[in-house]
């Protein structure tokens, strides 16, 4: 058996002198002799692989604490590896490979630990990627390897493929093929799991108590509020309130983000506001005083949202209205991307008439010896052009045979819109229409509240409650969304045509709002093919199709 001095000579590194910042946290330790030479010179030395894991590296996730501390992200797992080195030296063993999962929980089902899986693969094949044989695994505690039964079973199965392997902790090496060790480690696995569940329950109960008391969450400062998370930060709160109102009116989120830059505002971490972030801010329930937990509104015993003690940015009605302007997967309560806007208006950020225009080029097709023509009728989109007179054009990407000057089309569309609005003003009468399903919504909300009361009083068994409650909750959520959409559409339709025209001409409407007006007035605008060689834009090529 080799001595500690011999072991240190193999790696040219002393575990006492090697600091955490000098450790290689993954792979072959620095200075280790090649596999063949190491095995030839020290045939009786156990070659171990070391594993290190930390669930939550606060130095990585909290820049404020990290700035005040001399420690850096990864210090915790590095210290574990250093202790592994010292423990290996006590047993005259050498670590030939290190595996590290930093800032990864072992108790969450959906968390993948890549180095843990790599360690299992190397145990199954019997050697490290560099070719060193594996005689055992070393870590600072059993719970670093597992916090669930399945993890421990997978690990024991992999390490005992070779019965001579040992599992090293500061308590000493363990033979996991022995019945006594299996029982002992199995009990520890159950204890570790129970401790993990207990910790989760304490955290969950703590959060639930704060929710029921109406207290704000304990995370980073939300945009719009001061560090106490209760008092409004005036410049941010005023912008957020304005952004919600303007979004309800139809402004594009990018336009709102551009306004935040003009006002010199950034997110709470110093970055510019981007559409996805601002969408989450505007649709977060806290803006109207509500509280969410795990993606759902927190309700009281009567089925009503619990109201927090913090100052609010907007009203519940406006919060519901602004949520209705986004797709079902884009809001705070249903995070996601790529969902279409509920208005059905094709999305664009550059050109006014994109997709509203329809190509009328006639395409000749031959079938069974007979030549027929059909209208292309595909949407036309905008693209840049080299001409100074027409810096952009609308073209048909399908047939590539029809193009028209962009500035001329946009000017003509504006003339048609303003003329239509002027004509509509003469007969405009605002009409208020009540949402027809209000009674239906109230009935379902009352039914859910009654079901929850019966369940709380043990009049309804758990099996029946969990079978009946989810469909009711889903129906209520859908009806509330439909009501918000209806009220938004009603408010838009009740706006006087003259007011719409003034906002269009004054520049109050952004591109998204102008396009919304276009799609409310036109079913489409047909574009006839132009004459070859004619460079003068011809408005007569446009044929409006009114709704």
pLDDT tens for each residue of 327-377: 766 777 765 433 344 444 445 458 999 999 999 999 888 777 788 889 999
Tokens 């574990």 found at = 80
Contact 19, 71 (CB under 8 A): no
In DSSP terms, which residues pair with 362 in a beta bridge?
375
For the record, the structure tokens of 451 come out as: 């079901």
What is the spatial distance between Cα 76 and Cα 87, in angstroms, rounded to a whole number?
Answer: 17
Q: What average pLDDT does this structure show over 207-234?
A: 80
Helices (H), 355-461: 406-425, 438-456
Q: How far apart are CA 175 and CA 190, in angstroms?
A: 19
Task: Read off the pLDDT band of 532 (50, 70, 90).
Answer: confident
Summarize the confidence of residues 458-464 as an average pLDDT. 84
> Which has more confidence, 444 or 26?
444
Confidence at residue 66, expressed as pLDDT on a 0 to 100 scale: 38
Q: Which residues contact 389 (CB under 8 A, 6 or more apart)?
A: 405, 407, 537
- Quick check: 4 and 89 in contact, CB under 8 A? yes
Alpha-carbon distance of 547 to 467, in angstroms, equals 45
pTM of the shown model: 0.47
The two beta strands, 166-169 and 172-174, are antiparallel
**Residue 308 to residues 217, 480, 514: CA-CA distances in angstroms?**
10, 21, 38
Residues ≥6 apart with Cβ < 8 Å to 351: 381, 382, 392, 394, 406, 410
Instruction: Please write the tens of the pLDDT for every residue from 493-523.
Output: 778 889 889 989 988 888 888 988 899 899 9
| pLDDT band, very low/low/confident/very high, at 12 (cuts 50, 70, 90) | very low
Radius of gyration of the chain (CA): 34
Number of residues that make up the chain: 547
- Report the distance separating Cα 101 and Cα 118, nearest Å: 11
pLDDT tens for 400-458 read: 889 999 999 999 999 999 999 999 888 887 777 788 898 998 899 889 888 888 888 88
């Amino acid at each position: 058996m080799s001595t500690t001095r011999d072991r240190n000579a193999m790696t040219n590194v002393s575990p006492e002198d090697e600091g955490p910042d000098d450790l290689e946290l993954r792979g072959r330790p620095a200075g280790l002799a090649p596999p063949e030479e190491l095995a030839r010179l020290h045939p009786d030395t156990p070659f171990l692989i070391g594993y290190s894991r930390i669930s939550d590296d606060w130095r990585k996730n909290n820049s404020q604490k990290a700035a005040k501390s001399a420690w850096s992200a990864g210090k915790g797992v590095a210290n574990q590896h250093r202790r592994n080195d010292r423990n290996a030296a006590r047993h005259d063993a050498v670590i030939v490979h290190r595996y590290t999962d930093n800032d990864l929980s072992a108790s969450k089902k959906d968390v993948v630990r890549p180095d843990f899986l790599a360690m299992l693969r190397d145990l199954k094949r019997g050697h490290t990627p560099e070719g060193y044989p594996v005689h055992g695994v070393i870590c600072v505690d059993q719970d670093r390897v597992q916090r669930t039964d399945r993890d421990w079973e997978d690990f024991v199965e992999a390490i005992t493929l070779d019965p001579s392997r040992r599992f090293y902790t500061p308590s000493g090496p363990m033979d996991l093929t022995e019945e006594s060790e299996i029982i002992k480690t199995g009990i520890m696995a159950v204890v570790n799991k129970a401790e993990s569940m207990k910790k989760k329950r304490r955290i969950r109960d703590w959060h639930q108590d704060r929710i029921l008391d109406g207290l704000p969450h304990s995370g980073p400062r939300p945009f719009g509020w001061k560090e106490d998370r209760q008092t409004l930060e005036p410049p941010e709160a005023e912008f957020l309130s304005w952004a919600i109102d303007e979004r309800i009116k139809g402004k594009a989120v990018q336009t709102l983000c551009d306004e935040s830059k003009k006002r010199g505002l950034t997110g709470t971490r110093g970055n510019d506001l981007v559409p996805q972030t601002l969408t989450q801010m505007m649709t977060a329930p806290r803006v109207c005083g509500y509280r969410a937990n795990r993606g759902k509104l927190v309700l009281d015993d009567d089925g009503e949202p619990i109201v927090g003690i913090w100052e609010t940015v907007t009203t519940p009605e406006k919060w519901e209205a602004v949520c209705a302007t986004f797709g079902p997967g884009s809001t705070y309560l249903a995070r996601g991307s790529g969902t279409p806007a509920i208005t059905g208006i094709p999305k664009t950020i550059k050109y006014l008439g994109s997709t509203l225009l329809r190509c009328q080029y006639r395409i000749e097709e031959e079938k069974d010896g007979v030549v027929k023509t059909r209208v292309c009728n595909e949407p036309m989109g905008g693209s840049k052009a080299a001409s100074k007179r027409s810096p952009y054009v609308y073209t048909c990407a399908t047939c590539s045979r029809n193009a028209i000057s962009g500035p001329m089309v946009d000017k003509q569309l504006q003339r048609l819109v303003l003329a239509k609005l002027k004509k509509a003003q003469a007969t405009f009468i605002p009409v208020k229409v009540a949402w027809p399903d209000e009674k239906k919504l109230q009935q379902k909300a009352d039914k859910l509240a009654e079901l929850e009361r019966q369940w709380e009083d043990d009049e309804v068994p758990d099996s029946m409650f969990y079978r009946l409650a989810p469909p009711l909750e889903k129906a209520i959520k859908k009806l509330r969304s439909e009501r918000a959409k209806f009220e938004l559409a009603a408010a838009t339709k009740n706006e006087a045509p003259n007011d719409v025209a003034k906002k269009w001409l004054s520049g109050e409407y952004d591109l998204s709002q102008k396009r919304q007006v276009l799609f409310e007035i036109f079913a489409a605008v047909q574009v006839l093919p132009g004459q070859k060689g004619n460079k003068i834009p011809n408005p007569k090529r446009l044929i409006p199709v009114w709704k």
